[in-house]
């Protein structure tokens, strides 16, 4: 049983590595990989739209200490769905924790890696940031 579990886990890990991530747009052009950010705050609403879905929330800006509005980019609805996310996963006013990367343009825009909901679940956001271990991040054109 244990060996079987380990084998299954290993197979799962391999599958996870080879699964495609949503990455069609230029993460490096819009987001600063050196600026990871964690936001804890109130979920306002979500736009389930293509090519990217958006979470809107209010959270304290670590830079100013003030509660501000934030726009959180995630993958498209189908990617979220395939990651196990459903449209009622988060409700208005609920506290969520977003892990992601800050935009380069100085606005309150974040590309989400994952979102933690009040029941302790972590939803993968289909980030366009490179996080497949086998795939190096794209090189910038000089």
Partner 1 sequence: MNIRSALIVAALSVCAFGQQKPKYTPPRLDDGKPDFNGIWEVRGKVDENLETKVNGKNPIVDPADGKIPYKPEALAKKKEMSAKRATEDTTNKCWMPGVPRLMYIPHPFRIAQAANQPVIAVLSEYAHVVRNITMGGEHLDGLDLWLGDSRGHWDGDTLVVDVADFNDMTWFDGMGSLHSDKLHVVERYTRTDPETITYEATIEDPVMLAKPFKISLPLKLHTEKNAQIMEFECYAVKEGPTFTVGDKKDPEHGR
Closer CB to partner 1, 61 or 117, in the complex:
61
Closer CB to partner 1, 60 or 132, in the complex:
132
Q: Tell me the closest approach of the beta carbon of residue 103 to partner 1, in angstroms.
A: 10
Asked whether the CA dihedral 129, 133, 135, 140 is positive or negative, the reply is positive
Closer CB to partner 1, 1 or 112, in the complex:
112
Asked if residue 50 lies in contact with residue 77, where contact means CB atoms within 8 angstroms, the answer is yes
Please choose, from the candidates 74, 47, 44, 48, the residue with its C-alpha nearest in 3D space to the C-alpha of residue 59.
44
Residues in contact with partner 1 by the rule CB under 8 A: 18-27, 29-30, 44, 47, 49-51, 54, 56, 69-71, 76-78, 81, 107-109, 130, 132, 134-136, 138-139, 141-142
The whole-angstrom distance between residue 138's C-alpha and the CA centroid of its chain comes to 19
């Amino acid at each position: 049983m244990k060996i079987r579990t380990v084998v299954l886990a290993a197979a799962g890990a391999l599958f996870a590595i080879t699964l495609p991530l949503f990455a069609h747009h230029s993460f490096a052009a819009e987001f600063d990989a050196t600026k990871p950010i964690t936001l804890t705050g109130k979920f306002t609403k979500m736009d389930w739209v293509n090519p990217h879905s958006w979470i809107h929330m209010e959270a304290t800006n670590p830079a100013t200490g003030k509660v501000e509005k934030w726009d959180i980019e995630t993958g498209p609805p189908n990617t979220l769905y395939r990651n196990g996310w459903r449209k009622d996963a988060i409700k208005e006013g609920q506290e969520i924790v977003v892990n992601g990367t800050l935009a380069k343009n100085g606005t309150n825009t974040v590309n989400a890696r994952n979102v933690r909901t009040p029941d302790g679940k972590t939803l993968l956001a289909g980030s366009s940031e490179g996080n497949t271990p086998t795939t190096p991040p794209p090189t910038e054109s000089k």
